[in-house]
Amino acid sequence: MTGERKWFSVLLVLLLMLAVLSFSIAVPLVCRPFYYAHIGALDLPGQTGFSYGEIKDAFDGVMDFCLMDKPFQTGVLRWSEEGRTHFADCAVLFRLDFTVLGGSLAALLVCALLARKGLRPAALGGRSPLFWAGSVLAVGFVVIAGLAALDFDRAYIIFHTLFFPGKENWLFNPARDQTILIMPQVFFRNCALLIVGVLFFLCGVLIWAGRKRRPQT
pLDDT in tens, 110-146: 999 998 888 888 888 888 999 999 999 999 999 988 8
Q: Tell me what percent of the residues of the chain surpass a pLDDT of 90.
A: 72
pLDDT at 12 over 60: yes
pLDDT at 1 over 70: no
Q: By the 8 A CB rule, do 87 and 62 touch?
A: yes
- pTM, to two decimals: 0.90
pLDDT at 103 over 90: yes
pLDDT value at position 214? 54
Q: Which amino acid is at 130?
A: L
Average pLDDT over residues 24-39: 97
Phi, psi of 183 (to 5 degrees): -125, 70
Which long-range contacts (C-beta less than 8 Å, at least 24 apart) are formed by 83-90? 83/169, 83/172, 83/176, 83/177, 83/179, 85/169, 86/164, 86/167, 86/169, 86/170, 86/172, 87/62, 89/164, 89/167, 89/169, 89/170, 90/66
Tell me the HSE value of 191 on the side-chain side, using a 13 A CA sphere.
Answer: 18
Q: Which amino acid is at 206?
A: L
Q: How high does pLDDT run on average in the chain?
A: 92
Distance separating alpha carbons of residues 132 and 14, to the nearest angstrom: 10
pLDDT value at position 30? 97
Distance separating alpha carbons of residues 170 and 183, to the nearest angstrom: 12
Q: Which class for 216: exposed (0-12), middle (13-18), buried (19 or more C-beta within 10 A)?
A: exposed
How long, in residues, is the chain? 217
Tens digit of pLDDT for each residue in 149-192? 888 888 888 888 888 898 888 889 999 999 999 999 999 999 99
Q: Is 72 helix (H, G, I), strand (E, B) or coil?
A: coil
pLDDT at 37 over 70: yes
pLDDT at 216 over 70: no
Distance separating alpha carbons of residues 70 and 114, to the nearest angstrom: 39
Q: How far is CA 198 from CA 8, 24, 33, in A?
A: 26, 6, 16
pLDDT at 76 over 90: yes
Average pLDDT over residues 31-56: 97
What lies within 8 Å, CB to CB, of 90 at 6+ separation is: 66
Query: Residue 121 belongs to what H/E stretch?
Result: strand 119-121
Helices (H) and strands (E) in the chain, counts: 9, 2
Closest CA to 9 of 117, 102, 125, 88: 125
